[in-house]
Amino acid sequence: MRAVKSRDTTPELVVRALLRRFAPGYRLQRKDAPGHPDIAYMARKRAIFVHGCFWHGHDCPRGARMPKANADYWSRKIARNRARDIANAEKLAKQGWRALTVWECELKDLSALEAKLREFLS
């Protein structure tokens, strides 16, 4: 588990490369924003979270996989992650922020992801 990174992951680097093309000026892992978003536009009050499908329980095939070993632990851990994500989104909304979650599986179609990011930031 020590090898699993929480920042500068491959999906996050891909999203940042897309954003650099049309919306530079973001900040990374801001501790002063609720939920410590992966990418934050402070002046616009926009937060982008880049989530791994497995770790955050996405409803895609990769996120639906459950390890056979220690299944109770993993189901509780993923449930806690999902509850934390919902709480963070609510905190951001209360402070006037808009949040977007980019799932790891969305990186398969970069043009659709770019359109989604452009719409969110406009």
- The pLDDT value given to residue 1: 55
Could you give the count of Cα atoms lying within 13 Å of 110 in the half-sphere of its Cβ? 10
pLDDT score at 116: 96
Are residues 81 and 56 in contact, defined by beta-carbon separation less than 8 angstroms? yes
Model confidence pLDDT, tens digit, residues 56-108: 889 888 878 888 899 899 999 999 999 999 999 999 999 999 999 999 999 99
pLDDT tens for each residue of 12-38? 999 999 999 999 999 999 888 888 999
The confidence score (pLDDT) of residue 4 equals 67
Which residue ranges form the domains of the chain, and what is each CATH number?
10-121 (3.40.960.10)
Q: What is the mean pLDDT of residues 46-55?
A: 93
pLDDT, position 92: 94
pLDDT of residue 66: 84
> Which region among 2-6, 14-18, 48-52, 54-58 has the lowest average model confidence (pLDDT)?
2-6
What's the pTM?
0.90
| Calpha distance 29→73 (Å, rounded) | 27
- Phi, psi of 48, deg, nearest 5: -120, 125
Two structure tokens written together for 97:
């922020």
